[in-house]
């Protein structure tokens, strides 16, 4: 089996563009590659000649560019990296599709296949597993409320104003804990096993809140003037 050559990021972009053009248009001419990558023809010509020397393409100025088996394997690998990263940034992190694609473009060349495989496992687990629903809810809330933190993330001695209860917090638990939106609390500390968070309310009352509940109480830290 022929060894797959190591390419620069730029040359990998060319192979990716060629593969995408062939898949969509059925062919990849030099002018089409230039337009897709927004580069000038001399740059395209130079890149194509390098790829030809490396055995990645068949290049003749009078015909469309063709991928060799080496070129096809590299292009598929790069496109797979891009698709996986874009889906992660878009579906898991909630970035707009265009921003997710741009970010994937910058990172797709830097991440190896093993890391990509772990991205896939992680993103599919969050997206599909029923036991990950609570995490999905938390991520959705966290990304929609910049500037807030959950009570369990506050440091001992820190004051915070309770803004809202997360959707993962059962209504009966919220009603029975002695807190409501608008209350100011001071975090006193955590139990040794970190299963409880002790806070002091504005009226001086001390409350011991289970960490599982504190992880779903959204607060705004009070700045120290």
What residue ranges do the domains of the chain occupy? 1-128, 146-221
Q: 62-99: per-residue pLDDT in tens? A: 899 999 999 999 999 888 888 888 888 888 888 888 99
Beta bridge partners of 137: none
What's the confidence (pLDDT) of residue 185? 95
**Which is more confidently placed, 76 or 223?**
76
Q: What is the mean pLDDT of residues 24-36?
A: 94
What's the confidence (pLDDT) of residue 30? 94
Q: Regarding beta strands 159-165 and 149-150, do their DSSP bridges make them parallel or antiparallel, or are they unpaired?
A: unpaired
Q: List CB contacts of 35: < 8 A, sequence separation 6 or more.
A: none
Supply φ then ψ for residue 56, to 5 degrees. Answer: -95, -25
CATH assignment, 1-128? 1.10.10.10
What's the confidence (pLDDT) of residue 161? 96
- Rounded distance between C-alpha atoms, residue 36 and residue 48, angstroms: 14
DSSP 82: H
Q: In the structure, what pLDDT confidence band is assigned to residue 1 with cuts at 50, 70 and 90?
A: very low
* Token output for 30: 């030099």
What's the confidence (pLDDT) of residue 195? 95
H runs (alpha helix) in 64-152? 69-87, 97-107, 113-128, 133-144
The answer to whether 151 and 163 are in contact (CB under 8 A) is no
The answer to whether 138 and 166 are in contact (CB under 8 A) is yes
For residue 173, pLDDT over 50 is answered with yes
For residue 151, pLDDT over 70 is answered with yes
Q: How high does pLDDT run on average in the chain?
A: 89
Q: What is the mean pLDDT of residues 23-34?
A: 94
Supply the pTM of this predicted model: 0.66
For residue 158, pLDDT over 70 is answered with yes
For residue 172, what are the CA distances in angstroms to 147, 165, 195, 196?
Answer: 27, 12, 19, 18
Q: In the structure, what pLDDT confidence band is assigned to residue 37 with cuts at 50, 70 and 90?
A: very high
Domain 146-221 class in CATH: mainly beta
What's the confidence (pLDDT) of residue 3? 54
């Amino acid at each position: 089996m022929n060894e797959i050559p190591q390419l620069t990021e730029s040359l990998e972009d060319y192979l990716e563009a060629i593969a995408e053009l062939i898949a969509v248009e059925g062919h990849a001419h030099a002018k089409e590659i230039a337009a897709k990558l927004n580069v000038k023809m001399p740059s395209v010509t130079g890149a194509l000649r390098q790829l030809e020397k490396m055995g990645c393409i068949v290049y003749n100025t009078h015909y469309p560019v063709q991928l060799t088996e080496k070129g096809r394997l590299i292009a598929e690998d790069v496109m797979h990296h891009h698709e996986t990263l874009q889906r992660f940034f878009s579906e898991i992190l909630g970035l707009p599709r265009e921003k997710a694609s741009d970010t994937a473009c910058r990172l797709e060349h830097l991440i190896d296949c093993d890391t990509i495989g772990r991205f896939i496992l992680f993103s599919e687990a969050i997206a599909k597993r029923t036991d990950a629903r609570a995490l999905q809810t938390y991520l959705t809330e966290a990304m929609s409320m910049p500037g807030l933190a959950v009570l369990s993330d506050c440091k001992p001695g820190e004051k915070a104003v309770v803004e809202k209860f997360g959707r993962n917090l059962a209504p009966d638990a919220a009603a029975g804990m002695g807190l409501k939106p608008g209350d100011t609390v001071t975090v006193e500390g955590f139990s040794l096993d970190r299963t409880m968070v002790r806070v002091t309310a504005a009226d001086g009352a001390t409350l011991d809140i289970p960490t599982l509940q504190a992880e779903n109480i959204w607060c705004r830290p009070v700045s120290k003037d």
